[in-house]
């Protein structure tokens, strides 16, 4: 995830803040359903980026999941979906 042009994470409007809260709740729900494996964001608030690894049957399914995200639907986030192969699993 990246912020859309013109969105400043350090100065969010009330509607943008509400969208961020819905975004987080959405990802927690997907985690609880076993879809989200792990997620997080960078600490640089001037260039905030997020990464979420999900279980999906294919790239199209992952893109559909991303399109359902409140941040994407409300236009304050843009998302890029890339296939990922776990090369070094956790111990």
Interatomic CA distance for residues 85 and 40, integer angstroms:
18
pLDDT in tens, 12-40: 999 999 999 999 999 999 999 999 999 99
Rounded distance, CA 19 to CA 34, Å?
23
pLDDT in the model for residue 83: 93
pTM of the full structure: 0.89
- Confidence (pLDDT) at 80: 95
Tokens matching residue 68: 């359902």
pLDDT digits (tens, 9 = 90+) for 36-72: 999 999 999 888 999 999 999 999 999 999 999 999 9
Nearest to 30 by CA among 58, 64, 4: 64
């Amino acid at each position: 995830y990246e912020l859309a042009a013109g969105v400043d994470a350090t100065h969010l409007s009330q509607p943008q803040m509400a969208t961020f809260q819905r975004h987080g709740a959405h990802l927690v729900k997907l985690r609880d359903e076993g879809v989200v494996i792990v997620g997080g964001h960078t600490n640089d608030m001037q260039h905030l980026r997020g990464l979420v690894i999900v279980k999906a049957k294919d790239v199209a399914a992952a893109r559909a999941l991303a399109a359902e995200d409140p941040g994407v639907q409300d236009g304050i986030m843009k998302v890029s979906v890339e296939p990922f192969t776990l090369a070094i699993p956790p111990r």
